[in-house]
Amino acid sequence: MKGEECKENAVGIKPERVQKILSTYGVASRRSAEKLILDGRVCINGVQATLGQSAVVGSDEITVDGVPLAAHDKPVYIMLNKPCGYITTVTDIRGRSTVMDLMTEVKCRVYPVGRLDKDSEGLLLFTNDGAFANSIMHPSFNKQKTYEVEVLGDAQRAFLLLQQPVKIDDHTVSALKVELSEKSRDGGVFKISISEGKNRQIRKMCAVCGLSVKSLKRISIGSLELDSLKSGEWRFLTEEEILALGKR
């Protein structure tokens, strides 16, 4: 399959470039992932990958230095209440604090599912199950993610604007649900639910609507809620929670 494009899998998930997959799963930045591929350290279904090649997570086996991107021997599912100040990646060549610094007591290899930027906090999932991760991240599965957003600006005006399609980075996006839970003289607190999950989407939507984000916290993914988990703490998901998230 070297040099060929992988076909869509049974559920219609389109293939993505391998360097993007490695970046999404926190293995390396996209530029560093390209170097891994060029150095011959990445394989797809046992064949050395080429730069620009695509694959489908959950259908194709992707390995880095012989280690599977998603090991299926013993699936592990974890939720973390990510604090501010940590980047969502497995390693960082600049030596910055990563979310993996909070997971040192986890004895098996896991990776973060999706991303929360350095200045954001809240619910972040970890797993070694590629199909599960894909079902959370890929927009075709329509997993609702809800954020609590404290803002500065005209919250009442923005409330009306946020309920309409908003254009960011040449893409038109829409919130699934918007609530203005608190309003003050200089801002307010929103609860915003989305499913697309584009890069810094909530912050960019707020900026387009004239708001400055003071804090951003993800409080739920699908039916899974952050609840009383303290900042910096993690726990394993229950079987019921895994099933409710739509594990395939």
CATH class of 144-221: alpha beta
Domain 77-140+224-244 has CATH 3.90.1150.10: no
Would you list the domain boundaries of the chain? 16-67, 77-140+224-244, 144-221
Q: Are the folds of 16-67 and 77-140+224-244 the same?
A: no
Q: Which two tokens stand for residue 199?
A: 């890069």
Residue of 65, 92, 117, 186 with catalytic role: 117
Cα–chain center distance at 228: 21
pLDDT of residue 139: 72
pLDDT of residue 13: 60
Contacts of residues 41-49 at CB distance under 8 Å and 24 or more positions apart, as own/partner, are 41/65, 42/18, 44/1, 44/6, 44/18, 45/1, 47/1, 47/2, 48/2, 49/2, 49/18
DSSP class of residue 29 equals -
- From first to last of the 248 residues of the chain, give the pLDDT tens digit: 333 344 444 344 678 899 888 877 667 777 888 989 999 999 999 999 999 999 987 788 888 888 777 544 578 899 999 999 999 998 888 889 999 999 999 877 888 998 899 999 999 999 988 778 888 887 777 789 999 999 999 999 999 999 999 999 988 999 999 999 999 999 999 999 999 878 899 999 999 999 999 999 999 999 999 988 999 999 999 999 999 987 54
Q: Which two tokens stand for residue 225?
A: 């809620």
Domain 16-67 has CATH 3.10.290.10: yes
Q: What are phi and psi of 214, to 5 degrees?
A: -85, -40
Question: H or E element: which one contains 240?
Answer: helix 239-244
Is 117 noted as a catalytic residue in this protein? Answer: yes
Using alpha carbons, list the distances in angstroms from residue 76 to 10, 108, 136.
Answer: 24, 8, 15
